[in-house]
């Protein structure tokens, strides 16, 4: 069974203090790893898809990287508006589009 573990569960940063969120996974053949952002009372918002080890994607202050066992979401000089829960999910190489989600990292950026 596919498993996704995210750490830390919660992270509090000062504005401008860079850090990284971790997503460790075990999957029977990775077809894609997804990062989402979720604000309170909202559905998850798609950020990135990574397909193979060594791949990197960037968007504003966020950069996602992928190895064979884990993915990192690096946040550079965060702002208060980056506060949200960040979710990681994996899609395996099975026949169905079943995505397994982690429980997320709740990020708070303090002005």
Identify which of residues 78 and 102 has a Cβ nearer to other proteins in the complex.
102
The answer to the question of residue 108 lying near other proteins (CB under 8 A) is: no
Q: How far is the CB of 74 from other proteins (least distance, A)?
A: 20
| 88, 33 Cβ separation under 8 angstroms | yes
The answer to the question of residue 97 lying near other proteins (CB under 8 A) is: yes
Give the footprint of other proteins on residues 38-57 (CB under 8 A): 41-46, 49, 51
The angle subtended at Cα 111 by Cα 9 and Cα 18, nearest 5°, is 55
The answer to the question of residue 59 lying near other proteins (CB under 8 A) is: no
The answer to the question of residue 3 lying near other proteins (CB under 8 A) is: no
**CA-wise closest residue to 86 among 38, 20, 33:** 38
The answer to the question of residue 104 lying near other proteins (CB under 8 A) is: yes
CA distance 80 to 109: 5
Q: Which residues bind other proteins (CB under 8 A)?
A: 4, 31-32, 34, 36, 41-46, 49, 51, 87, 89, 91, 95-104
């Amino acid at each position: 069974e596919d498993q996704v573990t995210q750490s830390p569960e919660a992270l509090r940063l000062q504005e401008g203090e860079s850090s990284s969120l971790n997503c460790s996974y075990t999957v029977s053949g990775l077809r894609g790893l997804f990062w989402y952002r979720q604000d309170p009372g909202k559905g998850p918002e798609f950020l990135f898809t990574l397909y193979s080890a060594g791949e990197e994607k960037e968007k504003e202050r966020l950069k996602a990287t992928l190895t064979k066992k884990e993915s990192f979401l690096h946040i550079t000089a965060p702002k208060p508006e980056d506060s949200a829960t960040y979710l990681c999910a994996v899609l395996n190489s099975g026949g169905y589009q079943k995505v397994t989600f982690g429980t997320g990292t709740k990020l708070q950026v303090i002005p």
